[in-house]
Amino acid sequence: MFKNIVYKFFGIEEVKDPEDTIPVVVSRKRIIADKVVEVELRDPEGKELPAFTAGAHIDVHIKPGMMRQYSLPNNPQERDRYISAVLMEPEGKGGSKALFYDVQEGDKLLVSKPRNHFPLAEDAPYSVFVAGGIGLTPLMAMAYRLRELGKPFKFYYRARARAWAAYPDLLVEEFGDSVECLFSDEGGREKFDLDAILKEVPEGTHLYTCGANSFMDFVTSTAEKYLPEDNVHLEYFYAAFDADSAENQPFELYCTKSDVTLEVPSDKSITDVLEENGINLPISCSDGICGSCITKFVEGEVEHRDGVLSKSDREKKQLFTPCCSRAVGEKLSIEV
Ligand code: FES
């Protein structure tokens, strides 16, 4: 189980769950598109890495105090390496810049074991992937898995320019006619008619999308005209909720297992307050993206600010992400 101890390894601190963490070495680093770097990670002694499933991600501890989540695009059958393909964002919080500029071949890093909050419905009769830019990474692993299962799919890859797109040639090489690259500088924007595509798909089709939030909004709002909500799946790269513009209210938090009542002020998250009081949940992204902190609530109402729980999860009124979500009223009881 989760243990809240600081773990020091390769000079990296702040790893709170050593049992979930494994050492790796950067075995290859290369630029694969404009501002996109691919980092290949292997066991330092050449052993097999923990298996992953299509759609999984790992936490990469890039340097002290800096951890980021990256989806694994490679074939889940591969046990000898994890791949991260990362877009360098000059205005980002620094993780992609550090991977792009600072991390070098031969560096030793810590990563978490793979986790998957974006699973593939393997029994679907047909699947549609709609990737926006670097959002192709989890979808690519899904395509490998469906090919292995012999299941049909179509992979639509949208990006502004071919030069900015990771793996377009590899995708076509691996999946042939199942891939359509639709890059704006080649007229792809005009050719991409998602309504027309989804009108023709067989019953039971599942759709998966990943990319910029606005791109996924477009894809999911179109998809929901043709597919049941439960068949439309998305994964956020960026926080789904604009916390800076939110108005937070303070509330009382009762922790049922610890039997303590805490005050959550407007300028702190639930996980901040829990941590200050010696109650540590597994936290990874703090942005409602990774699902590491998902916790049960037993009383009260929650304003969900995450991008991982599905609508049906939310309707059950049992789970929430305390790293970013908050109480609607004055009290919330949670199972910690
Ligand atoms: S820590 Fe990632 S969703 Fe809460």
For the CA of 290, the nearest atom of ligand 1 = 2
Angle, alpha carbons 230-231-236 (nearest 5°): 85
What is the SS3 assignment for 259?
Answer: coil
User: Residues 227, 198: contact at Cβ < 8 Å?
Assistant: yes
pLDDT per position as a tens digit, 186-196: 999 999 999 99
pLDDT per position as a tens digit, 283-316: 878 889 888 899 999 999 999 999 888 888 888 9
Ligand 1: distance of its center to the CA of 282 in Å? Answer: 8
Model pLDDT, residue 12: 40
Mutate to test the pocket of ligand 1, among 272, 285, 314 (most ligand atoms within 8 A of CB): 285
Model pLDDT, residue 9: 39
Ligand 1: distance of its center to the CA of 162 in Å? Answer: 33
pLDDT per position as a tens digit, 76-97: 999 999 999 999 998 888 889 9
Mutate to test the pocket of ligand 1, among 238, 272, 290 (most ligand atoms within 8 A of CB): 290
The list of the chain residues with pLDDT below 70 reads 1-19, 244-245
For the CA of 285, the nearest atom of ligand 1 = 2
Q: In CATH, which of 1.10.10.10, 3.90.400.10, 3.40.1280.10, 3.40.50.80 is domain 127-236?
A: 3.40.50.80
145: exposed, middle or buried (Cβ count in 10 Å: 0-12, 13-18, 19+): buried
Mutate to test the pocket of ligand 1, among 118, 284, 313 (most ligand atoms within 8 A of CB): 284
* Number of neighbouring beta carbons within 10 Å of residue 332: 24
Output DSSP code: residue 98.
I
Which class is 245-334 in CATH? alpha beta
Q: Residues 15, 42, 104, 73: what is their CA dihedral angle, to the nearest 10 degrees?
A: -90
| Angstrom distance (rounded) from CA 184 to CA 187 | 5
Lining ligand 1 with CB less than 6 A are: 283-286, 288-293, 306, 308, 321, 323
Q: What are the extents of the domains in the chain? A: 10-112, 127-236, 245-334
Ligand 1: distance of its center to the CA of 326 in Å? Answer: 13
Ligand 1: distance of its center to the CA of 242 in Å? Answer: 15
Q: In CATH, which of 2.40.30.10, 3.30.2270.10, 3.40.50.150, 1.20.1250.20 is domain 10-112?
A: 2.40.30.10
Ligand 1: distance of its center to the CA of 320 in Å? Answer: 10
